[in-house]
Homo-oligomer: A and B are copies of this chain.
Amino acid sequence: MTAAGDPGGAEGGGATPRERADHEAVERANQAFYDAVEAGDLEVLGELLLDGEQGESVSVVHPGWPVLRGRGHVLRSYALIMANTDYMQFFLTDVEIAMADGTAIVTCSENILSGGPAQEDGSAGELVGGLVVATNVFRRTPEGWRLWSHHGSPVLSDGPDEEDEGTGTGGGYPQGPDESA
């Protein structure tokens, strides 16, 4: 249905075996990325990011954060997140993949359950649930698909009929979609 060089889902009825294999490999790379964050494994995470000269072009936006660029900044930010969360679990839903010429864009919802460090009295840190949507861009490399860009953002509104709320924490945009419009 989609030519190899064209953006488009690889799940169409006319997808070639190569496209299906690429699709599965990208989905595995995306899951491995979240597994590494969940496990607090900075070394595995580092292996999943684009490396070498390309590593400087890696960009990450954590929910509510500014842009971080380059492997060094990105890995330090994950070290900080891992140091401040004793527990972090991602349930990925609504995962969609678009591909073109060795680049894949994964969009998905991260249903997150996280907890801070244990309290001084030894009790567990507070557990917090959250919904984040992410756009993750992967590049095909000889070693497999590697993360080029991750952008996660909190879902602050998911209901319709809020278009008259004006602006809020959305940075100057009206809040909330209205699919019924």
Residues of A that sit less than 8 Å from B by CB: 1-2, 6-9, 50, 53-54, 56-57, 59, 61-69, 73, 76-77, 79-81, 83-85, 88, 94, 96, 98, 100-103, 105, 107-110, 112-114, 116, 125-126, 128-133, 135, 137, 139, 148-149, 151-158, 163-164, 166-179, 181
Q: Is the CB of A164 within 8 A of B84?
A: yes
Give the CA-CA distance A148 to B2 in the complex, in Å. 15
Give the CA-CA distance A62 to B177 in the complex, in Å. 9
A64, A110, A172 — most chain B CB neighbours (10 Å): A172
Q: Is the CB of A128 within 8 A of B172?
A: yes
Q: Is the interface of A mostly helix, strand, loop or mixed?
A: mixed
Smallest CB gap from A135: residue in B: B151
Q: Is the CB of A8 within 8 A of B112?
A: no
Q: Is the CB of B173 within 8 A of A152?
A: yes
With A64-B173, A113-B172, A166-B125 known as contacts, the answer to whether A178 contacts B80 (CB < 8 A) is yes
Q: Is the CB of B107 within 8 A of A157?
A: no
Contact of A66 among B69, B155, B172, B181 (CB under 8 A): B155
Contact of A154 among B108, B170, B176 (CB under 8 A): B170
13 contacts between A and B (CB under 8 A): A61-B107, A61-B133, A62-B170, A64-B176, A67-B107, A67-B135, A80-B181, A101-B101, A130-B167, A130-B173, A135-B149, A152-B173, A154-B170
Complex contacts, A178 vs chain B, CB 8 Å: 80
Contact of A62 among B100, B112, B173 (CB under 8 A): B173
Task: Identify 6 new A-B residue pairs, CB closer than 8 A, beyond the known A83-B163, A152-B153, A153-B171.
Answer: A7-B54, A59-B107, A61-B153, A64-B170, A77-B177, A81-B173
